[in-house]
Each structure stands twice: as structure tokens, then as C-alpha cells.
Chains A and B, each alone.
Chain A
Amino acid sequence: MHMLAVTETKGFHLDPRTKLLLMAVVATAEFLYGHTAFMLAVAVIPFILLLTNRQYKAATIFIVLFVAALVVKEIQNSIRFHMVVNMVVVLLVGLVLRLFPAFAMGNYIIKSTTASECITSLSRMHIGRNITIPLSVLFRFLPTMQEESAAIKDAMRMREIQFGTKKFWQNPMALLEYRFIPLMISVVKIGDELSAAALTRGLDNPADRSSITRVGFTCYDVIAVVISGVMLFVTLFIIKW
């Protein structure tokens, strides 16, 4: 029974369902923004969550980029840039302001949630195995694909097969062929091994899955939801600048 107690001793943590709710709120809120205070409030949620998960580096990078983008956006309409420069600036600022809060949130969710927690809480939401298994495989594969892709990129650099070289312009399709296909082959191989491993551990067992990971709402969930709710409400309706 001591084994069970281990999972209970962590500090600030959120239920995966709360994380999903906050993610949906952040992703939706990004499209509502009109004024700076609200955008800041949206950005502060993932920032604080990253800090609580001790991802200081990610949190710093995120908030610095976000504030920089805000500043640029403020001065953007007063200075009329050259067309091409404006395009690049809009591209970067738009990416950071629009997508980074959700990216930071996604980063936090992936780093702070174990697969077991995720599956347990999804099955509590009565989402069937048909969705939970592919979803957990998907999240298991994203970092793997990143690693494999970096390795293939290094290997191909030796043969000058990368974006922008002379060889690339002679045959752009080669990039597709030499980067994607080795990646796919290695991912398929890894996937075969993974499914063999999962099947020997009883993935196909029709009985209900049980878990020693305890998932449940705690006071932390209430605090997080209330604080972010109040923050968004206040900035959306009361403080407008």
C-alpha cells in the first residue's frame, strides 16, 4: 500500500481535466482579444503554470517573446514599414501573439501530465478506448519524431540536402523524399515495436482498465480556475486598455 501513497505527495498539480479546460479557454480567448490587458491576462495563465511546473527556461522565453511582440504591435500601426518588412514583422508578431499562449499551454500539459494520468482522466470523462489509445500514442510519438527528424537532418546535411542549398533548388522534391521517407520508415518501425510491447502487456484486454494513479479534483484546481476566470473576466469587461 505504500506504493499507492507515493503519487499523493506532490505539490501544486492540476487534474488533467482542468488542464484541458484551461487549454480550451486559452485557445478560444486568443481569438477574442481586442485590448492589451486581456491578451496579457491570457498569456499570464500558461506563464504561471509553467513556473509551477519548474519549467523556468520555457517560461522566460515565452514571456519575453510575448512582451516583445506586444510592444512591436503597439508601435506597428504608427510606423508604416516597407511591404516586405511589414510582412515578416506581421508574420512573427502574429505567430507569437496568436499561437504562443496555446503552445506554452500545450508544452506545460505535455511536460506535466503522465500518460497514465491522461488516460485515466479521459476515461473518467467517458471517452472510449477508440480515442484514448490513438491519442496517447500520438503524444508518445511527437517527441520521438522530433528526435528522429533531427538525426536525419544531420545525416542529410552531409549530402547537402537541406533547405536553401544549390542542390535543393535543382530538385526540391528530393528534400521531401530524403527527409520524410526515412522519418516515416523509422517511425513505422518504432510503432511496430511499440504495439508489440503494448499487446504483451494486455492492451487488448476487454476488461475495464484500472490504475494506481489517483486522479481527482483538488483545491488547486478550484484556485486555478477561479483565478484565471476572474482575471479574464475583469480584463475583458472592466479594465479596457
Chain B
Amino acid sequence: MQKSNKLNGKDLINVGIYTAMTLVIFFVFGLLTSLPVIYPFLLFIWPFVCGIPMMLYYTKIQKCGMLTITGVICGLFFFLIGYTWIGLVGWTLGGILADIVLKAGQYKNFKVTLLSYACFCLGMMGCPANLWMAGQSYWENIHSSMGDQYAETLQSMMPSWMMYIGFVILFVGGICGALLGHKMLKKHFERAGIV
């Protein structure tokens, strides 16, 4: 990385602000997971609603590395609240992937932004991935902690093939979220003089 490409203080503060916004929105909607029926839909809802702050964030990104930091911080947060190391790895990989895509596209084109955000959303898989990766012990935990009924419903809603479908849903959700965010950007933020 060249000297002029290094992140300065303003960039880092921006990372903090937008990560905070995305994380809060993600978390508020994540609380819906307590109802197992909603779980599969969340894979779409998460990237959809997070699209608004993230699109605003993308207008500020000019340098490589910012999305990686966002991914690492989100991952750390979910690691600390109990999503094990899979949460950390998933979010970090999503951030790195999004950064690579964005760097390859030179930060200009909206289509690149769209693709990059969709890649970032794949990292969100880090949260529900526990259901499949951690295997039987995780399920036993849910059985003992959430009660049998909850676990059975969850298991029937989330069979193992859902994981691959999940990535597709996240990707599509990411694209829709980016479009929604872009629309909001045009409608509100440009008028308010923020972009």
C-alpha cells in the first residue's frame, strides 16, 4: 500500500461511525431471531436494511482497508456476544472480499459498489453459520437453553441445504439492499447535502 493510500484519522472516524450505525441496525433486526419462523427471512432482511447506512458509507470510501476494518469490528462484536469464532471469521472474510472487489473496480462505478456490498453481505453468514458448522454440540445447547419446541422448529426451518441457499439469499438481499440504499441516498441524503 502506498503512503498516500494510508488511512488517516478522518477515514478511521468514518469507519467507526458507519460501523456503529450498521451494527445497531443489524442487531435490532437480529433480535427477531428469537422467533424461529423468521430466521430464513432474516437472511434477506439483514442485507436489505443494512443497505441504507452502507451505501452512505460507500460514498466515503476512497481507500482500501476500510471495509476490512468494519468486518473485523463487527466480527469482534459478535464473537464477544457469543457467536463463537465462526462469527469473527465470517465477517472478516466478507470485509476482505468486499474490499478486494471495490479496489478492483476503482471506487467509482455504482455497479462495483453493488457487487462489493453483496460480497460484504456474504460475511453475515458468520452469524447463522453456527447452526451447521458447530454441529451437534451447538444443537444440544439450543435444546437445553431454548427448550425443545424452539429447537425442533428451528431445525425444520434450517436444514443443511439451507446453508447454500442462504448464501444466494444473502447475495440477492445485498443487491436489493444496495438498490434501496441508493434510492434513499438520491431521495434524502443528497437533498440534505450530506453526500
- Docked complex: A177-220 residues within 8 A CB-CB of B: 177, 180-181, 183-185, 187-189, 191, 194-195, 198-199, 203-204
List the B side residues contacting A221 at CB < 8 Å: none
- Contact flags (1/0) for B10-23 with A, using CB distance below 8 Å? 10111111011101
List the B side residues contacting A90 at CB < 8 Å: 34, 146-147, 149-150
- Docked complex: A97-131 residues within 8 A CB-CB of B: 97-99, 102, 106, 129-131
- Chief secondary structure at chain A's binding surface: helix
Contact partner of A138 (CB less than 8 A), chosen from B19, B141, B147, is B19
**Total number of B residues with any Cβ neighbor in A under 8 Å:** 47
Instruction: Check A194 against B13 for contact (C-beta < 8 Å).
Output: yes
Instruction: Check A185 against B189 for contact (C-beta < 8 Å).
Output: yes
CB closest residue in chain B, given A109: B80
Min C-beta distance of B156 to chain A, whole Å: 14
Instruction: Check A142 against B34 for contact (C-beta < 8 Å).
Output: no
Instruction: Check A28 against B82 for contact (C-beta < 8 Å).
Output: yes
Instruction: Check A31 against B84 for contact (C-beta < 8 Å).
Output: yes
Q: A23-B80, A99-B81 are in contact. Are A133 and B9 (CB under 8 A)?
A: yes
CB closest residue in chain B, given A98: B145
Q: A77-B148, A102-B80, A185-B192 are in contact. Are A130 and B65 (CB under 8 A)?
A: yes
Instruction: Check A199 against B73 for contact (C-beta < 8 Å).
Output: no
Instruction: Using CB atoms and an 8 Å cutoff, list the residues of chain A in contact with chain B.
Output: 23-24, 27-28, 30-34, 76-77, 83, 86-87, 90-91, 93-95, 97-99, 102, 106, 129-131, 133-138, 140-142, 145, 176-177, 180-181, 183-185, 187-189, 191, 194-195, 198-199, 203-204
Given A32-B141, A187-B17, A203-B13, 14 new contacts (CB under 8 A) = A23-B80, A28-B82, A28-B84, A86-B147, A91-B34, A102-B80, A136-B16, A137-B20, A176-B52, A177-B188, A184-B53, A185-B194, A191-B14, A204-B9
**15 contacts across the A-B interface (CB closer than 8 A):** A27-B81, A31-B138, A99-B81, A130-B7, A130-B69, A131-B72, A133-B9, A133-B15, A134-B12, A134-B73, A142-B24, A176-B49, A176-B52, A183-B21, A199-B10
